[in-house]
Structure 1
């Protein structure tokens, strides 16, 4: 019996040490995926604000390119979300994982359809109203980004992963 107790203890020590590496690797991978979606959203929203999606259907080629690009944002975030969903994580990362998946899903299901709608609208007053909705959605996504970072700090603390204080306040 003592032999099995020592074996169980050895397995538990191995699991604890693996968990730390698991959490560290998980954090690195999912943070990279999170920032990839964030940067893509920021780029597309910046393009929207600069008038890059204001294409007239009479210029068929430009209109189709803008429409494709708008749809690509959702497809990109869906692909990244699906990849993030497969990354193995410990229980300590559950809240962070859920927050990141929700953030990516919101880009895909709440922001992208409005962006596509904006591109397809031709009436300037309709576009103006949709642009305001997009700005509101972007602000909501900004709040979700902040929540992801807050929950990530909690996860890192639970996992015992130390971070550089100066970089976490930027």
Structure 2
């Protein structure tokens, strides 16, 4: 057995290159983590947004088709329509609660707030009017509420466009490729 009397660093050929490669790899992985978080956040928030949008569109279509026009004398039909109308707000509140708890980067704040505002307006404004519409039995008053609902739906459609614009800006800022032709 030989003992080393002097302390010498053993040099392994290419260790600097390997170390540099490892450090570079770690930097790339860490910098892409934010992008992966943003990507995952976008996927979940978009799913939540479209879930509420589809539910709103279904209820509005039913309104236009006269499916919320039950008379109180038909207790079962009336109760079902009232439950369906109120259910829109409850559903959007659940989704909004889930969406508001999603972790996101600061870059996503404008998109996040726009979607939460959209869901809140469905719950607090559209659903309230839809419930009033179902409960109201006077045809003239119902017609006025229906007009308000149609106006509210137009406002929500404009807000949908703002949510989309905020989403596009967010995705561009974090470097996620998008197809704007849809």
Is residue 115 from structure 1 mapped to residue 130 from structure 2 by the alignment?
yes
TM-score (norm 2): 0.84
Compute the RMSD of aligned alpha carbons: 1.8
Counterpart position of 2:56: 41
Identify which of 162, 177, 181 aligns with 1:147. Answer: 162
Aligned partners of 2:30, 2:138: CA distance in 1, in Å? Answer: 60
Q: How does 1:1-170 map to 2 (within 5 A)?
A: 14-164=29-179, 168-170=180-182
The structural deviation recorded for 1:86 is: 1.1
> Which digits, 9 at most, give the CA deviation of each residue in 1:7-42, with x for residues without a partner?
xx9987554221000000000010011001000000
Larger Rg: 2
Aligned partners of 1:80, 1:106: CA distance in 2, in Å? Answer: 13
How many residue pairs get aligned? The number is 161
Aligned partners of 1:126, 1:12: CA distance in 2, in Å? Answer: 64
Aligned partners of 1:139, 1:169: CA distance in 2, in Å? Answer: 22
Q: Unpaired segments of 5 or more residues in structure 2? A: 1-23
> Which digits, 9 at most, give the CA deviation of each residue in 1:64-102, with x for residues without a partner?
000000000000000000010111111111100000000
Quick one: structure 1 residues 10 and 169, their matched pair in 2 at CA, closer, same or farther if it must change by over 3 Å?
closer
> Which digits, 9 at most, give the CA deviation of each residue in 1:124-162, with x for residues without a partner?
000000000000000000000000000100000001000
Quick one: structure 1 residues 29 and 105, their matched pair in 2 at CA, closer, same or farther if it must change by over 3 Å?
same
Q: Which runs of 4+ in 1 moved over 6 A?
A: 9-12
Bigger Cα displacement from structure 2, 50-59 vs 11-20:
11-20
Quick one: structure 1 residues 12 and 40, their matched pair in 2 at CA, closer, same or farther if it must change by over 3 Å?
same
TM-score (norm 1): 0.90
